[in-house]
Amino acid sequence: MECKEALSLIDLYNEDKLRGAQKEQFLLHVRDCPSCYEELDIKFIVTRGLKGLDSKEKADFNFSGMLQNKIKTELSHIKRGHSVLQTILLFILIILTALMVFLL
């Protein structure tokens, strides 16, 4: 993913509207791209800060740490999703192979 695309997705990410491969590409990009990460970090802090004003919780959070944890958690969830899918596909492949061997 290019910076331009990643930057255009920041607002969607903050509204939690990114899904699947697009979200994964976005997260991988901001994790490895300091300038996009910084942009996301600023918007994340602003978004959270505004929400904090609405709620009674007094905002004394480490927002940057929160964002880093969020990205890490989401990426690990996405990766886990992949490995489950891969396991299922492998299982299907083994069954198909066994069927072929049996039928031939």
Interface residues toward Zn ion, by CB under 5 A: 3, 6, 33, 36
**Beta carbon of residue 36, minimum distance to Zn ion (angstroms, whole number):** 3
Nearer to Zn ion, 28 or 45 (CB): 28
* Whole-angstrom distance, CA of residue 99 vs CA of residue 85: 21
Minimum CB separation of residue 2 from Zn ion in Å reads: 7
CB neighbours of residue 39 within 10 Å: 16
Q: 12 or 52, CB closer to Zn ion?
A: 12
Side chain identity at 15, as an amino acid letter? E
